[in-house]
Amino acid sequence: MRRCRSSFALLLLLITSLGTIAGARAATWERIGGYVRLMRRAGVESLVAKDCPEGLLGAFHEGRQVLLMCGNNLPDDPAYVWVVLAHESAHVMQFCNGGPLMPAALLTQEMDRARRTTPDAFHELKLYHVSQHHVEVEARLVQALPPDEVEALFHRHCGDRLER
């Protein structure tokens, strides 16, 4: 457990040090298309909207099982788009899992530690109700992972939904 907690703490520090977009690994349009097809096999449609409110990059609608990407607010850069796709797919994984992907106590402990190191580490969480902080932090952790790890997590949490 200690090793897992240390890796988690390092990931939190990576995100807080580099920022949510800058910490992303490069992706290609082909990789993005493959991941979208994987989610479609799990019953999640992906749509691109051209009329999202300013600042909104994406969203996941649980009831409709739709992952929305806001084309009017995203640059034409696959690395940037991948970050948003990975973030929103974390919410899909949370849905498949029936709740958060990691224990609340561990996440809270590591968030507190990161805040002591970098006080404004999670400043954008102020945009969300406190009840959403856990799922939003998890999504930020997922978006910072390399694409292979994001896809492995998707298989782990949503694999039973994949059409065979």
Query: What's the confidence (pLDDT) of residue 5?
Result: 41
Would you tell me how many other CB atoms lie within 10 Å of the CB of residue 124?
11
Q: Does an H or E element contain 156, and which?
A: helix 147-158
> Structural domain tally of the chain?
1
In a domain, 138, yes or no: yes
In a domain, 13, yes or no: no
Query: How far apart (Å, rounded) are the C-alpha atoms in residues 99 and 157?
Result: 11
Query: What's the confidence (pLDDT) of residue 25?
Result: 53
Tell me: the pLDDT tens digits for 1-22? Answer: 333 444 444 444 444 444 444 4
Q: Kindly state the average pLDDT of the residues 118-135.
A: 70
Find residue 68's DSSP bridge partners.
Answer: 47, 59
Range of the domain at 97: 25-161
For 98-121, b where at least 16 C-beta lie within 10 A, e where not — what string? eeebeeeeebeebbebbeeeeeeb
In a domain, 100, yes or no: yes
Query: Is 2 buried (19+), middle (13-18) or exposed (0-12) by CB count in 10 A?
Result: exposed
At 22, list the tokens. Answer: 């800058």
In a domain, 5, yes or no: no
**Pair type for strands 66-70 and 58-61:** antiparallel
In a domain, 109, yes or no: yes
105 pLDDT more than 50: yes
Query: How far apart (Å, rounded) are the C-alpha atoms in residues 60 and 63?
Result: 9
In a domain, 11, yes or no: no
In a domain, 15, yes or no: no
In a domain, 88, yes or no: yes
In CATH, what number is assigned to the domain containing residue 153? 3.30.2010
CA angle at 10 for the pair 5 and 12, rounded to the nearest 5°: 95
Tell me: the pLDDT tens digits for 54-92? Answer: 999 999 999 999 999 999 999 999 999 999 999 999 999
